[in-house]
Amino acid sequence: MEHDTRLGGDAPQADHICFLFDPQATLAMLAGQRRRFASTVATLGADELTSPSRCEGWTVADLLRHLVWVDATMRRLWSGDETPAAGFDPRTTPNEAVLSDRAVPDEEVRRRYLSSTETMVVELESADRKRFGHPTLSPAGRVPWWMSAMHMGWDSIVHERDALAPLGRAVEVVPGETIPSLAYSLVLASLFDRRDRLHVRMGPVHLRRGGGPVTAWAVAGGPDEDSAGHPPFDDQSAVLTGDPVATIDAMCGRGSLTQTLNGDAAVIDRLGGLARYFASSA
């Protein structure tokens, strides 16, 4: 595709996804989220670890089991070992991994999560431009390395709320996390929509899906220009409104998207494909 002068337009992209966010800023955001969540995990009591999370059938400690497994799986993929992708089903494989790790005591799982977080933070913060573009696999397909890290971070951001919200623990809302996470949620939702072109605007976040790759970006100014002063790709976007954090959660199946968003009902229904997929039988 042509060089794009928008913020993030010179970042390595996938053939099917164009995610116009700055890789270095994105990775720094992900590292910050991991540090914050880990600092809370370190304070959880034994009764909190055994408490139910928002993920059906999983305790808070089970969520940590899942996140340790995600880290290990992503590191294998990043090393070039694509074995974990064989037979992977996001509706069943993560749960199978959690069940197999329940023999590991909760306190040991916590220790492994904190250790894995330290390792992953170093990896995120030490990456350079060469690493950004290294090809790898992610649940969203074959993508440059930095975009697979975004997928991992998006998973962590959602699961932080999955773990802490039922405990009554506050989760800080950080715009630098929420905006790219909302954009990435829209990307994933659009990949599950098989109908015609889809152009959506939610606050500063835009998504376009037409004849080329799914493209997502955020404007820094008003709704009619991006951070580099360029107009949006078109003016045909369906404008949706709603709480961005609740929208991210609802697109992942945590809540009702129709009750969270206001706007074109048909477009809102199309964005529910990811949640419907997770609720479907394997």
pTM of this structure: 0.92
**Which of 110, 33, 25, 34 has its CA nearest to residue 65?**
110
Per the rule left: phi > 0, alpha: psi between -120 and 50, beta: everything else, 60 is alpha
Residues of the chain with CATH 1.20.120.450: 22-167
CA atoms within 13 A on the CB side of 26: 31
User: DSSP letters along 39-80, please?
Assistant: HHHTT--HHHHTSB-SSTT-BHHHHHHHHHHHHHHHHHHHTT
Cβ contacts of residue 144 below 8 Å, gap of 6+?
11, 12, 13, 14, 132, 133, 134, 135, 136
Separation between Cα atoms, residue 242 and residue 244, nearest integer Å: 6
52: β partners:
59
Average pLDDT estimate for 231-249: 82
pLDDT at residue 228, rounded to an integer: 46
Amino acid at 156: S
- pLDDT tens-place string over residues 98-148: 999 999 999 999 999 999 999 999 999 999 999 999 999 999 999 999 999
Any idea how long the chain is? 282
Q: Sorting pLDDT into bands at 50, 70 and 90, what band is 229? A: very low
97 or 221, which is more confident?
97
Q: Which of 59-73, 197-211, 226-240 has the lowest mean pLDDT?
A: 226-240
| CATH class, 22-167 region | mainly alpha
Q: Sorting pLDDT into bands at 50, 70 and 90, what band is 231? A: very low
Phi, psi of 186 (to 5 degrees): -65, -40
pLDDT at residue 223, rounded to an integer: 47
**Which of 1, 8, 14 has its CA nearest to residue 187?**
14
3-state per-residue secondary structure call for 143-204: EEHHHHHHHHHHHHHHHHHHHHHHHCCCCCCCHHHHHHHHHHHHHHHHHCCCCCCEEEEECC
Residue 64 in tokens: 């940590």
Do 272 and 240 meet the contact criterion of CB atoms below 8 Å apart?
Answer: no
Average pLDDT estimate for 153-172: 97
Residues of the chain with CATH 3.30.1050: 178-279
- Domain 178-279 of CATH type 3.30.1050: yes
